[in-house]
Amino acid sequence: MPELPDIEVYRESLEARIEGRVLNGVRLKNPFLLRTAVPPIADAASRRVTSLRRLGKRIVIGLEGGIFLVIHLMIAGRLHWREAGAGKEPRNALAAFEFDDGTLYLTEAGSKRRASLHVVAGEDALHALDPGGIDVMSIDATSFARALRARNHTLKRALTDPHIFSGIGNAYSDEILHAAKLSPLALTSKLSDGEVARLFAATRATLALWVARLREDAHGKFPEKVTAFREDMAVHGRYGKPCPVCGAPVQRIVYADNETNYCARCQTGGRILADRALSRLLHDDWPRNIDELG
């Protein structure tokens, strides 16, 4: 799922291409994408784009007259820009937002249709779509600590809860916790002030680093290779590969459709965290320490 760094670079790319331009119309290729009925999608036509915002993991296109198009890409949704007359329509297109000089396409891979488009009128209606998490890039350390400790969760859950923090998901939470040298299963209530400060610094630094990297990778073009798995990530999606800091094999905890990746040596004092499926299967053979892996 595209997270804060990906959404921010999408936002910047769209701002450079469509802000101040008139949206001629929206062609829905799949009616299930649209999750609202009032105002009708036709009301967006012939309105000038006045703003581009990020709302958590959503992209908001502001139009004249207080109309907002709110796009949530979910897991497999992506955006593509085609200059007028350049190239054919992307595969799996769910919607096309047409401008004089180009078209913005929303696509979704796979058969599950999770991406969504909301059309809302007014700031209050837009605010109602906000899960309420705070933006770590615009708060101070005290506000971060207060939000983190408001509920007793594991660090992984706290960072990825959109009601606590805005825009952080599975991928970048792994990278943040590795940078902070903290266990994904550490409880927020048990953290020292120093650990909270370290997590705050790592969160801001990691997100800023990846915004800069993704911006540089795009080279001024529209970002076409948005993915949660990147070779230069430290731990996310790198199970079994060496940690770039200490060389120990990256570990994982698998749950549902997701997994958490971490370095046992850097983050958990060498302890391998129990994976529900594998630890039950292996019982006494489950390795407790990174050095037992051999």
**Does 275 lie in the same domain as 159?**
yes
Residues 117 and 222 in one domain: no
Whether residues 84 and 13 share a domain: the answer is yes
- Residue where a domain stops, chosen among 127, 157, 176: 127
In the numeric block, the tokens 């979704």 are attached to 108
Average pLDDT over residues 211-239: 93
Q: Are 123 and 153 in the same domain? A: no
Could you tell me how many residues make up the chain? 294
Residue 286 — pLDDT band, cuts 50, 70, 90? Answer: very low
One domain for residues 206 and 288: yes
Confidence of residue 289 (pLDDT cuts 50, 70, 90): low
Shared domain for 79 and 183, answered yes or no, is no
Q: Indicate the helix (H) or strand (E) that contains 208.
A: helix 193-218
Report d(CA 29, CA 31) in Å as an integer.
7
pLDDT of residue 282: 36
Whether residue 121 is contained in a domain is answered as yes
Q: What is the CATH number of the domain that holds 81?
A: 3.20.190.10
User: What is the domain range of residue 157?
Assistant: 144-293
Domain end residue (candidates: 99, 127, 155): 127
Residues 118, 174 share a domain: no
* Residue 113 confidence class, pLDDT cut points 50, 70, 90: confident
pLDDT digits (tens, 9 = 90+) for 20-59: 999 999 999 999 999 999 999 999 999 999 999 999 999 9
Say if residue 221 is in the same domain as residue 182.
yes
Q: In the predicted model, is pLDDT for residue 287 greater than 70?
A: no
State the sign of the Cα–Cα–Cα–Cα dihedral 110, 111, 115, 116: positive
At 1, the pLDDT band (50, 70, 90 cuts) reads confident
Residues 150/66, Cβ–Cβ less than 8 Å:
no
Q: What is the mean pLDDT of the chain?
A: 92
User: To which H or E segment does residue 96 belong?
Assistant: strand 93-99
Residues 156 and 285 in one domain: yes
Model confidence at 290, pLDDT cuts 50, 70, 90, reads low
Q: Residue 180 is part of a domain; what is its CATH number?
A: 1.10.8.50
Q: Is residue 134 part of a domain?
A: no
> pLDDT tens-digit profile of 84-107?
887 788 989 999 999 999 999 999
- Which residue is associated with the tokens 């036709």? 42
pLDDT, tens digit, 9 for 90 and up, residues 125-144: 999 999 999 999 999 999 99
Is the model more confident about 282 or about 208?
208
Answer for the pair 9, 218: CB distance below 8 angstroms, yes or no. yes
- Residue for token pair 């006045």: 50
Residue 247, C-beta contacts closer than 8 angstroms, at least 6 positions apart: none
Residue 5 has pLDDT above 80, yes or no: yes
Round to the nearest angstrom and report the end-to-end CA distance of the chain: 34
Residues 150 and 64 occupy one common structural domain = no
Counting the structural domains of the chain, the total is 2
What the block records as the tokens of 31 is: 């009616």
Strand partners, 116: 72
In this predicted structure, the answer to whether residue 285 has a pLDDT above a threshold of 50 is no
- Which residue in 38, 203, 57, 76 sits closest to 131, CA to CA? 57
Closest-CA residue to 59 (of 139, 128, 117): 117
Give every CB contact of residue 124 below 8 A, 6+ residues apart in sequence: none
